Structure 1
Amino acid sequence: MPVQQNKSQFDKVFSSWDILVIAFGAMIGWGWVVQSGDWIEKAGVIGAMLGFLIGGVMIFFIGLTYAELTPAMPECGGEHVFSMRAMGPYGSFICTWAIILGYVSVVCFEACAFPTIISYLWPGFLKGYMYTIAGFKVYASWVAVAVVFAFLITIINLMGAKTAAILQTILTVAIGAAGILLVVASFITGSPSNLDGQVFNGSTNGTIIGNIIRVAAVSPFFFVGFDVIPQAAEEINIPLKKIGKVLLLSIVLAITFYALVIFAVGYVMDAKSIVNSYSASGLVTADAMAKAFHSEAMAKVIIIAGMCGIVTSWNSFMLGGSRAIYSMAESYMIPAAFKKLSPKHKTPTTAIWLIGILSMLAPFFGRQMLVWVSDAGNFGCVLAYFMVAMSFLILRKKEPNMARPYKVSHGMLCGTIAVITSGIMLFLYILPNSGAALAPQEWAIAGGWYVLGIFFIIGCKAVYKDKFGYYAPLNAMINGKPVEGAAPAGKAAASAVWSIEKSLGREEAAADDIPAMSSDFSYFLPVNIHFGAGKVSEVGTLASAYGKKAMIVTGGSSSKKSGLLYKINGLLDQAGMSTEIFDKVTPNPLTTTAMEGAAKAKDDSVEVIVAVGGGSVLDCAKAIAFMAKNDGDISDYIFGRKSSAAALPLVLIPTTCGTGSEANGFAVLTDPATGDKKSLRTPAIVAKDSIVDPDVMKTMPKSVLASVGFDALCHCMEAFTARNAQPVTDALCLYAIPLIAENLVRLYKGDDSDEAWAAITLGATFGGMVINTAGVTLAHGMEHPVSGKVNATHGKGLAALTPVVIESEFSHNRLKFGRIARMLGGFTAEDCAGEVRNLLSDIDLNITLTDLGIKKEDIPWLTENCLKVSAGNIKNTPGSYTKEDISRLYEAAL
């Protein structure tokens, strides 16, 4: 089965300004030109402003969920990704299909709105009557202009995201300038007396409030557009945390813009003037501009600004809609042809052409038909908002430790409010006379859209089978330039360190120090490592050397969703091998799972084990290979009560750059009966072949990358400072530490270059090699009881413990801890823990044991278990540690 391309193919071109104008331009559109009079008539000037403020607050809470989820999952498709991760493929289909309806409907509507505005500017424009649809007369000139502009917008979007962003900037600035002119002029030439009789509309408090709510009920639909930002997340070139802030800023600016325009109109025109204008041209805002400047020509400025608003909405929603279609095609929910990207411009060409052709056809159906389509599309957007808000709550519950570069305070409360507000908006579409209720024609359009979606589900499941719902998280967002704040390797500062250290009386920790040569040592590691991009294609050739029947050991989902499992299965099949799949491995793998897999391997006469996954999968596969050739319980071998040198041959394919399990003879397992987390250690489980392919690492979510990358760094730091360290391991550690530290931060911040992936992957493999010989020390020894007790992610446990442990260790080996500090950007051994904390902050892992669920009352058990399962690690640590010392360190890490 072909493997989905996991690496992001989009160019990272959008700046903060670009995404701000894309979202803001989408939200302001044309409505402020044609509907301000209607809003004021309904609720009064201040009442309409309050209505928009209320609606804006409703949207703001929904925006908060987007602001957190977008930087956490900065991938093309936005809603598609959020709902996929929270609700699975069917929930994602419903959500994304809804937002696509919304985007496509707006694009088609704007294609009709554009020539309509021209008819306002040029009354003689309508020529060549063709026919009437739903009471709307369709003219040839009207259709021709719409088709030409639809074609131009399509071409602009095909030419690249940056080109579209430049157009968006020019037009949005024009709209903003026109709006500012109106507001400033109204303050100069307007009068408070114009507000008389139209501050609020209603004779009683009840009717006043009711009219405000009527405006509030429709106002959220004028804020649709901020959600375009997550659609283009892979193309954004700013720090992740800033994306959420820009998204929220766009909503605040839109609320402010609408409120000021409403006030300006009411301040410069009295109630009678607004009524007369609304019943005549309907362009109350344009007439207000003319009155503010005492010039009829200035009305055309507002109308032209309205035209710009049509194009900005048109442009934004074509961008967002094409990315949503692309993301569904990537998941094989619609035909895969729609994920085609232009080699030159990196735009989803098929998806853009689809929307473009629909927008060229739309004018032939007349404006009224498009009003129905647009209203049905608004319903789709609100349905998507509701599902995103639900996804926010689900992920807060299901994945509390997911990396969230922009994390909303009081998240569960905000998420609940977002669900309620979006739910209210949905209800308004159903409630008659709500001001937003769908007409029968609009329900027919929405229903027909989902009937079409059902056909796609059935058809794509039949064609693509298990690939339907495929999801490979893409981690990149920023491309090209070095990431700000990345830890330096220390060479730039090294020249000054010797004199500083010497003046401090710490000559032993100077920058040029080389660890003392051991008088004797041995190094043995019988693994054949095949390193490089694309090396995974060699798995069939390598595995077939050990037999004809393989068991593929993997986890429950990631290798399936990425398509890697199916590729490997196919390669083994091509090599003439039969396969069995064992996919029950979980994070922090259990001894019982290993025993179950071993029993299956024995029963099926398996000859070779092929493991595909992260460190947990590789460790479990090793234990399966070992117990498939041995009798008894695996715990006896883990605790040294039994020993053996027999195991099935192993071919390991790591998909995370962390544990280094592919390069050593360790397999860390947790006994569910006791909570003991300890490693099986024997040369028998060193892989015959390990395929280390940086390309297969690129599907990792950023939270996983941070965790496993820090684990790899800890392997090298601990092996370097361990009592069992020797020249070969020291040399590998000195090479690997800067590779991991620098590239982990770069990748987490979005660098995504092949060089960075290759560097961190190689560094992680070296980490596995060095701990095979030098071992790990106290931080790992203390972490195993933590993840054994609360099933915490191993790398997160290390993040909570390592700085605290280093603060207690560095004085026992100043030379080596000083060397690590300088590789991380510090100077002396005292700096080491602080530099580690700085790195953890850069990858959003600056956490405590309390964050992982550990309580103070757990410390006695953790301490006793550490002494039980990690006695070797404690002995390997520089310095001397008692039970009381370990207990104190656990408490310090809370």
Structure 2
Amino acid sequence: MESKKESEFTKVFSAWDILVIAFGAMIGWGWVVSTGDWIERGGVIGAVLGFVLGGVMIFFIGLTYAELTPAMPECGGEHVFSFKAMGANGSFVCSWAIILGYVSVVCFEACALPTIITYIYPGFLKGYLYTVGGFKVYASWLAVAVAMSIFITYINIRGAKTAAVLQTVLTVIIGGAGILLIVASVITGSPANLEGQMFVGSGSGIARNILRVAMMSPFYFIGFDVIPQAAEEINVPLKKIAKMLLLSIVLAVAFYALVIFAVGYVMNSGAIAASASSGSGLVTADAMAAAFKTSVMAKVLIVGGMCGIVTSWNSFLIGGSRAMYSMAESYMIPKFFGKLHEKYKTPITSLVLIGVLSCLAPFAGRKMLVWIVDAGNLACCLAYCMVAMSFVILRKKSPEMPRPYKVKHYKVVGFFAIVLSGFMVLMYILPGTGATLSLPEWVIAGGWGAFGVVLYAVCKVKYGEKFGTLVDVANDELDAEAARERQAAAGIAAAEAGAEPAPAMASKTISPDFAKAKAVNAAGAEMLRDASAIPDTFQYFLPVNLVFGYGKTKEAGALAGKYGHKALIVTGRSSAKKSGLLDRVRDSLQEAGLETVLYDKVTANPLTTTAQEGADLAKQEGCDVVVGIGGGSIMDAAKGMAFMAVNDGAFDDYIYNRRSSDQALPLVLIPTTCGTGSEGNGFAVFTNPETGDKKSLRSPAIVAKASIVDPENMMTMPKKVLASVGFDALCHCMEAYTARKAQPVTDALCMYAIPLIVGNLVDLYQGKESREAWEAMSIASTIGGMVINTAGVTLAHAMEHPVSGLKNVTHGVGLAAITPYAIAASWEGNRFKYGKLSRMLGGYTAEDCAEKVRTLLRELDLNITLEDLGVTEGDIPWLTQNCFKVSKANIDNNPTMLAEEDVAEIYRKALHGESLNLARTA
């Protein structure tokens, strides 16, 4: 998954702004033009019930938007929702559809405004030009349409806030006109006017007619979805965005229902029929005149309706331009559509394009625009259906996603939202529904779809891997840890530049002891987790006797003598012998009165059969204590031998928890590598040679009775070995620190150990040796083993074990190939901790962490791929399955939850060393 970016938009919309943008988009002009038709379809009460029922249906769709918008408050709305749920292809279809819907309304409103003026002033039409589809086009009609198109576009270019101010003024006028009608009708109307027109039809016919109105009404509520399009520009708490969205739907439903009732309450059926069949046909305007008993008020209401045209126009221009911007940001349409105005921070290119289309649209005549709007309505409904499906998919796919507004009973809501929106789509497709698209409308919809296919193909070729990418926008409220982590990073950058860091957040802070953070801590900018993040309960228990220091190996006999009389010495084939360490330990044991038996057949990645063979030797020779001398493989083998020497049954039964035991021979461990930390924990990793499974034996019985950590024993390591084991030690600490099972004690140990490794490993590898550096690496390695005993390991170890089990590669080398990709796929699960790791490694934010690990690997000559280790593409299915078979607990311990397909994709990236920022798929 790619890193998050800072928003380029200015947050200017208030709660009121987004309410009037959505409400103004929904009420538009339809209530002035069509109220009489609605009453004739269902009757006054029937039409009211129909709109309420339709409003309830659309409310289910609104609920899905209400949850998704605050969860992903980014420009583009539907584009982002569908991308996260369905990927790039689904997002393209959804976004392309919603753009058609928005642009069609903008173009239609450009024609609607001059048309309404002719209702008020019939003499307005001057300069006949031509006729299109039976509609006469006049010069004065075109002039008003084009001039208003330029004006609305200019207002939107000037800034979102300017557009919102215009929207507020016009919406207040609309609302005022509607309220005047409603209030006046209550005062001057009469219940008698309802007689004979409360419902249309009788018996089951009433219900059918109410349903006819209900099925038509949702199309008048299209517009609330402008809110998610502009979500990145909203400056209110995220949960409140959801509430404003739902409130806009409720207000629109109430407005339509009350206007319908007001018209029927002030005009009887005869008056409504006469108004509909003669004159302008604007029944609502005639109702206003009847309520106030003057024709002047009819024109007042028409002016209010004209404002409704502009509010819809303005809202959909905002929505359409933002939808185009978001597609351009994902390289799905030409990138220049994502350009923002340098001063006003509005999507200038997208606004200009839609503005030009709205200027050209009136030349096609009003009939053509009706066709375009119907095709656009189908596209909007399709987008609604895809959003509803995205709502359900994301509940399954991303249950951990923060949801400031979380809908209850999501399955019920999702079902009704999908069914309703799908039904609306079918109404446009199936013949005989009353909303079926005509042939010209199908040509428009099909042409738009075909153009989208061409654009898809062209942009996919032009932009390559960039096509269909989505970079999330950082949101401080949604990710409080991200805000804290960015502040800490900014503090470090300021400290390095010699500037005064920003004041710290008001909370108690503690800084880890590493050089860069010390400078920042003086200004209070580096922060650890606050007290509220500490687990309510946790447990730390590790009964190991660590004996640390140069020359402490000589105490081996005294320590082992406390636990037995005959020692099984476990080591490798040559290193301990060549260095003389084996002889020194054996002499110490014998001086303390212990007999010794040698097992020297342990190899890298110890086998279960090796452990069983050594256990059999211990039993045969009557050994009562085990002494392990060597690296992690040897210490693990010694643990397995000590365990199986006193336990019956198959080794795998204990590894897979089919059997358990708390018994083992006493162990004394003497590490010769500073990597695995096996001397400080109670588990040991083995490979089954028959199955290739590499999995750990875990038991408190195999915690060493004594571990001698003597830095002098590390100094004979080949530099190649040092690099791999040192990186393993670093991985132990990083994974334990970011693990789900991490707790304060392990965090504190990790924070102590990581800077020791980062500050000394590369120097030791490059030959800059010192007594202090070896001490630092030795104790840090042991701490790494201790922390994973409690907090466990995570994704990188889970994925590496199958690799070394299959290919018998060195564990630390396998980790080097996988870890950067594991971090790239995981950092968003706990970005504050990964940010701290990044800063320890020389970066600033969590996004840098994976690349900084790779930089360290380059300095250790470990910048390798899985392909370099002999892994092939054909191995990935087995590696993935085995990873979940033997290391599921480690995967579950990872800060970001991953499915099998995610792990397989990480293996593929690591196979060829592909780009880190694409390590996790969307």
Q: TM-score, normalized by length of structure 2?
A: 0.58
Distance 2:106 2:694 in 1: 61
Q: Secondary structure at the match of 2:406?
A: coil
Residue 262 (structure 1) aligns with: 260
Cα distance change of structure 1 residues 474 and 281 upon mapping to structure 2, 3 Å threshold: same
Equivalent position of 1:9 in the other structure: 8
2:244 is matched with 246
Secondary structure at 1:471 match in 2: coil
| Aligned-partner Cα distance in 1 for 2:431–2:150 | 38
d(CA) in 2 for partners of 1:26 and 1:782? 53
Kindly provide the amino acid, as one letter, of the partner of residue 137 in structure 1. Answer: K
1:632 alignment counterpart: 605
Residue number in structure 2 paired with 1:410: 409
Q: Flag the 1:107–1:722 CA change in 2: closer, same or farther, 3 A.
A: same
Secondary structure at the residue paired with 2:636? coil
1:127: how far off? 0.4
Instruction: Give 2:636's match in structure 1, choosing from 619, 638, 641.
Output: 641
Deviation at 1:476, TM superposition (A): 2.7
- Unpaired runs of at least 5, structure 2: 489-506, 521-602, 609-630, 638-670, 676-683, 699-720, 760-778, 799-821, 832-885, 895-922
The equivalent residue for 1:497 is none
After superposition, where does 1:286-685 map in structure 2 within 5 Å?
286-476=285-475, 632=605, 637=632, 640-641=635-636, 684=724
In structure 2, relative to structure 1, the CA distance for the partners of 1:788 and 1:357 (3 Å cut) is same
CA 1:169–1:461: 2 relative to 1, 3 Å: same
Distance 1:191 1:398 in 2: 56
State the partner residue of 1:186: 185
CA contact (8 A) 1:69 1:404 kept: yes
Name the CA distance, whole Å, in 2 between partners of 1:687 and 1:355.
55
Q: Deviations over 1:448-505 (max 9, x none)?
A: 00010011011111111121111111133779x999999x99xxxxxxxxxxxxxxxx
Alpha-carbon contact 1:274-1:284 (below 8 Å) kept: yes
Does residue 113 of structure 1 match 2:134? no
- Give the distance between the partners of 1:336 and 1:243, measured in 2 at CA: 29
Change (3 A) 1:420 1:631: same
The answer to whether 1:781 aligns with 2:781 is no
Mapping 1:50-69, distance limit 5 Å: 50-69=49-68
Residue of structure 2 in register with 1:283 after alignment: 282
> Could you say if the C-alpha distance between residues 434 and 781 of structure 1 is closer, same or farther in structure 2, counting changes exceeding 3 Å?
same
Q: 1:684 to 1:318 in 2, by over 3 A?
A: same
Deviations 1:748-769 (A, max 9, x none): xxxxxxxxxxxxxxxxxxxxxx
Q: Distance in 1 between matches of 2:722 and 2:269?
A: 88
What displacement does 1:416 show?
Answer: 1.0
Give the 3 Å change call, closer, same or farther, for CA 136–677 of structure 1 in structure 2: farther
Amino acid at match of 1:641: D
Alpha carbons of 1:514 and 1:304: their partners in 2 closer, same or farther (altered >3 Å)?
A: closer
Correspondence for 2:223: 225
Alpha-carbon separation, structure 2, partners of 1:190 and 1:99: 42
Structure 1 letter corresponding to 2:9: F
Task: State the Cα distance separating 1:781 from its structure 2 match.
Answer: 2.7
Which letter does structure 1 place at the counterpart of 2:605? G
Per-residue Cα deviation, 1:53-83 (whole angstroms, up to 9, x for no partner) = 1111111111111111111111111111111
Q: Does structure 1 conserve the Cα–Cα contact (< 8 Å) formed by 2:275 and 2:282?
A: yes
1:25 and 1:316 in contact (8 A); partners too: yes
Cα 1:723/1:644, change in 2 over 3 Å? closer
- Larger deviation: 394-403 or 406-415? 394-403
> Where do residues 812-823 of structure 1 align in structure 2 (5 Å cutoff)?
none
| SS of alignment partner, residue 294 of structure 2 | coil
Partner-residue secondary structure (3-state), 1:641:
helix
Which residue is equivalent to 1:751? none
By how many angstroms is 1:181 displaced? Answer: 1.2
Aligned residue for 1:197, secondary structure, equals: coil
Aligned 8 A contact 2:685 2:695 in 1: no
Cα separation, 2, equivalents of 1:216 and 1:513: 58
Deviations 1:803-850 (A, max 9, x none): xxxxxxxxxxxxxxxxxxxxxxxxxxxxxxxxxxxxxxxxxxxxxxxx
SS of residue matched to 1:405: coil
Deviation at 1:639, TM superposition (A): 9.3
- Rounded to whole Å, the distance in 1 between the matches of 2:71 and 2:607 is 39
Give the distance between the partners of 2:314 and 2:364, measured in 1 at CA.
Answer: 21
Output the TM-score relative to the length of structure 1: 0.60
Structure whose CA Rg is larger? 2
Determine the C-alpha separation between the residues in 2 that align with 1:361 and 1:401: 47
Q: CA deviation at 1:7?
A: 2.9
Instruction: Give how far 1:437 is off.
Output: 1.2
Distance 1:773 1:210, change over 3 A: same
Whichever residue aligns with residue 379 of structure 2, its letter is G
1:6 Cα deviation after fit: 3.5
- State how far apart, in whole Å, the 2-side matches of 1:263 and 1:135 are: 35
118-127 or 470-479, larger mean C-alpha shift: 470-479
Bigger mean CA offset, 245-254 vs 31-40 = 245-254
CA RMSD of aligned residues (A): 4.8
Q: Deviations over 1:482-529 (max 9, x none)?
A: 99999x99xxxxxxxxxxxxxxxxxxxxx99999x9xxxxx99999x9
Residue 483 and residue 395 in structure 1: after superposition, are their counterparts in 2 closer, same or farther (change >3 A)? closer
Aligned-pair identity in percent equals 56
Contact 1:787 1:794 in 2 (8 A): no
In 2: Cα distance, 1:119 partner to 1:434 partner: 32
Equivalent pair of 2:340/2:348 in contact (CA under 8 Å) = yes
Instruction: Give the Cα separation in 2 of the matches to 1:797 and 1:469.
Output: 23
- Match of residue 87 from structure 2: 88
Question: Which residue pairs with 2:644 in the alignment?
Answer: none
Aligned residue in 2 for 1:236: 234
Structure 1 residues 321, 4: CA separation in 2 closer, same or farther (over 3 Å shift)? farther
SS at 1:409's partner residue?
A: coil
Residues 1:787 and 1:269: Cα distance change in structure 2 (over 3 Å): farther
**Contact (CA 8 Å) 2:149, 2:358: kept in 1 or not?**
yes
Partners of 1:784 and 1:183 lie apart in 2 by 67
Contact kept? 1:110, 1:313, Cα under 8 Å: yes
CA–CA distance in structure 2, aligned partners of residues 240 and 639 of structure 1: 55
| Structure 1 equivalent of residue 574 of structure 2 | none
Q: Deviations over 1:723-752 (max 9, x none)?
A: 9969999xx9xxxxxxxxxxxxxxxxxxxx
SS in 2 for 1:193: helix
How do 1:694-843 and structure 2 match up within 5 A? 711=738, 717-718=744-745, 781=790
Q: Is the 8 A contact 1:22 1:229 kept in 2?
A: yes
Aligned length: 598
What is the aligned partner in structure 2 of residue 162 from structure 1?
161
Unaligned runs of 5+ in 1: 490-510, 518-522, 531-629, 648-667, 691-706, 733-769, 800-861, 871-894
Q: Distance in 1 between matches of 2:108 and 2:311?
A: 13
In structure 2, the residue matched to 1:272 is 270
* Per-residue deviation, 1:638: 8.0
Shift of 1:432: 2.6
Aligned residue type for 1:420: V
Structure 1: distance between partners of 2:45 and 2:444: 36
How many angstroms apart in 2 are the aligned matches of 1:291 and 1:90? 54
Partner residue of 1:750?
Answer: none
Greater RCO (CA < 8 Å, at least 6 residues apart): 1
- When residues 4 and 206 of structure 1 are mapped into structure 2, their CA distance, relative to the original with a 3 A threshold, is same
CA displacement, residues 366-404 of structure 1 (integer Å, 9 cap, x when unaligned): 111100001100011000001111111111122222221
Instruction: Flag the 1:345–1:241 CA change in 2: closer, same or farther, 3 A.
Output: same
